[in-house]
């Protein structure tokens, strides 16, 4: 089993179930656009690697915790700009958690307490925050 120290970036959409319930197709289209036009690009710009995506989230890793934090801040600023003219109840807002931790590597996936801590931090973050 390979282990390594990595900066884990965990993000998901706050209120995703409510947004999907109100407008499934519109929410999915907007989420895909945010991922394609902002989030995936920012992760790549900061030399991150997308480990996996879920319906409303993304798990990425970075060699540098500074790059992970800078990426998260830029994603949140970009989302604030993209949401400026969107009614409050229709906004897609991400919560992001970052943790520097030891992970177990299995092919292209990562596991372990380091990932769990990042997910817990993401869960307690305010929408639009890191």
pLDDT 10s digits, 91-106: 999 999 999 999 999 9
Average pLDDT over residues 73-95: 97
117 three-state secondary structure: helix
What is the C-alpha separation between 9 and 114, in angstroms, rounded? 10
pLDDT in tens, 8-67: 999 999 999 999 999 999 999 999 999 999 999 999 999 999 999 998 999 999 999 999
Asked if residues 128 and 76 have their Cβ atoms less than 8 Å apart, the reply is yes
Predicted confidence at residue 55, as pLDDT, reads: 87
Which residues are CB-neighbours of 35 under 8 A, at least 6 positions away?
53, 58
75: closest CA among 108, 97, 103? 97
In the chain, what are the domains?
2-124 (3.30.70.1230)
What is the C-alpha separation between 124 and 6, in angstroms, rounded? 21
């Amino acid at each position: 089993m390979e282990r390594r120290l990595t900066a884990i970036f965990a993000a998901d959409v706050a209120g995703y179930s409510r947004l999907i319930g109100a407008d499934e197709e519109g929410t999915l289209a907007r989420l895909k656009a945010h991922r394609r036009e902002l989030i995936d690009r920012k992760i790549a710009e900061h030399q991150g690697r997308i480990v996996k995506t879920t319906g409303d989230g993304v798990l990425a890793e970075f060699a540098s915790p500074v790059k992970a934090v800078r990426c998260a801040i830029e994603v949140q600023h970009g989302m604030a700009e993209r949401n400026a003219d969107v009614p409050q109840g229709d906004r897609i807002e991400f919560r992001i958690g970052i943790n520097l931790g030891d992970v177990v590597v299995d092919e292209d996936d990562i596991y372990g307490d380091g990932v769990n801590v990042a997910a817990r931090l993401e869960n307690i973050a305010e929408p639009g925050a890191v």
